[in-house]
Amino acid sequence: MEPTRSEGVFREGRTLFTINANPGTRVYGETLRTVGGVEYREWDPFRSKLAAWLARGPPAELPGGVRSVLYLGGAHGTTVSHLSDLWPHAEIFVVEKSPTAFAPLLALARHRANLYPLLADAQLPERYRADVGSVDFLYQDVAQRTQAQIFAENAHVSLRPGGAGLLMLKIRSVTQRGPPGAIVRAARELLAREGLAIRSETSLAPFSREHVALGVRA
């Protein structure tokens, strides 16, 4: 098991792992591996876009020293659980608007003290800004038409100056028409107009053919 450039992410061959913060338990049926007395959870790039981004290699590298995270679109907590493994001392605020998805997220948080689930709409960041405060890292995976706008508004409200962000842009949720390149370009332009510096653009193929990850700095 080898460390990667992203603190807390390990690799064996091409397979990624995080150290299980809740040993003996799985979150989504993932494989557990014990090496040298440490239990690792396999991080599946076909199930988690963040793992897909990391698996694509440089320039993908998670920021260091993260103490607070705002995660938009937590769903059942697949990716959230790996962030919880990675940054045990961070506060990870997870916004999810579907009550059905929120229930398993709450159950996950009962066993992981660094998770703070919020049943809320990411389009209305003013509603949770007081709970979240200023964060080091903003992550979004919501598959909405206005994804880039939602990301920019949350960055304005909650991302500290110099903080890092990662938008998992689902191209065909923006529009069914037009070339993918033009849709990504429009998202980049919107983020730039909103004062966010684009640091990277990564296709998540072959893990997800529909997504492009945009890395930004506030």
Ligand X SMILES: C[S@@+](CC[C@H](N)C(=O)[O-])C[C@H]1O[C@@H](n2cnc3c(N)ncnc32)[C@H](O)[C@@H]1O
Which residues in this chain contact ligand X in the complex, by CB under 6 A?
Answer: 48-49, 72-73, 75, 78-79, 95-98, 101, 121-123, 141-144
CB atoms within 10 A of CB 101: 16
Q: How far, rounded to the nearest angstrom, does the alpha carbon of residue 52 sit from its chain's CA centroid? A: 11
To ligand X, the closest distance from the beta carbon of 59 in angstroms equals 21
Q: Which is nearer to ligand X, 35 or 71 (CB)?
A: 71
Residue nearer to ligand X on the CB measure, 34 or 98? 98
Cβ atoms within 10 Å, residue 165: 27
Least distance CB 207 / ligand X (angstroms): 12
Could you tell me the smallest distance in angstroms from the CB atom of residue 35 to ligand X?
A: 25
Work out how close the CB of 102 gets to ligand X at its nearest, in angstroms, rounded to a whole number. Answer: 9
Sheet strands (E) in the chain: 2-3, 9-12, 15-19, 32-35, 38-43, 68-72, 91-96, 115-119, 135-140, 159-170, 197-203, 211-217
For ligand X, the closer CB: 170 or 188: 170
Name the residue nearer to ligand X (CB basis): 101 or 186: 101
**Which residue is nearest to ligand X, using beta carbons?**
73
**Looking at beta carbons only, is 121 or 201 nearer to ligand X?**
121
Contact present, 30 and 51 (Cβ < 8 Å): no
CB of 50 to ligand X, least distance (A): 7
Q: What strands, in cross-sheet order, belong to the sheet with 135-140?
A: 115-119, 91-96, 68-72, 135-140, 159-170, 211-217, 197-203
